[in-house]
């Protein structure tokens, strides 16, 4: 892999921590594997809903899944479904919209480019390795 495609890595930002314990998500939702080891690759997904009239927000769901379990789930999908998903993301994600702050947290929608500050509902998906978030995708 050439240096242009290597990930930039940062400490996992608090935004991606478990919303109840306020600590890093430690275990895979599917197999319970410990994820904070240095060589462990996994994904964190969190969904947020804002209530602007109350100046409040809520985490709708959050989980981490190891690469092995994510791949097993992917293999359960039909080829057609996988192809539809891949086509959607290839055709919809604009690399110019992959904007993050200094901690590696996305600040804009990867599809529409809309600032997350202006959205009332959104999801964040992060690729992590151990205690670090990978912030530069090989696009």
Domain ranges of the chain: 3-87+120-134
Count the alpha carbons within 13 Å of 43 in the hemisphere toward its beta carbon.
12
pTM (2 d.p.): 0.84
Which of the pair, 64 or 13, is modelled with greater confidence? 64
**Burial (CB count within 10 angstroms: exposed 0-12, middle 13-18, buried 19+), residue 127:** middle
Question: Rounded distance, CA 122 to CA 131, Å?
Answer: 24
Average pLDDT estimate for 46-63: 95
pLDDT digits (tens, 9 = 90+) for 80-135: 999 999 999 889 988 888 787 877 778 889 889 999 999 999 999 889 999 998 87
Say whether pLDDT at 4 is over 80.
no
What is the secondary structure of 79-136 as a DSSP string? HHHHHHHHHHHHHH--GGG--B-TTS-B-B-TTT--BGGG-SEEEEEEEEETTEEE--
């Amino acid at each position: 892999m050439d240096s242009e495609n290597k990930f930039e890595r940062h400490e996992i930002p608090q935004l991606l921590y478990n919303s109840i314990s306020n600590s890093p998500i430690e275990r895979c939702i599917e197999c319970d594997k410990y994820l904070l080891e240095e060589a462990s690759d996994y994904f964190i997904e969190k969904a947020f809903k804002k209530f602007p009239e109350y100046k409040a927000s809520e985490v709708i769901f959050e989980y981490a899944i190891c690469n092995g379990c994510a791949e097993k789930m992917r293999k359960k999908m039909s080829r057609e479904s996988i192809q539809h998903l891949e086509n959607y993301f290839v055709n919809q994600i604009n690399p110019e919209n992959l904007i993050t702050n200094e901690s590696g947290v996305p600040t804009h929608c990867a599809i529409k480019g809309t600032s997350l500050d202006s959205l009332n509902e959104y999801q964040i998906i992060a690729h992590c390795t151990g205690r670090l978030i990978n912030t530069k995708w090989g696009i």
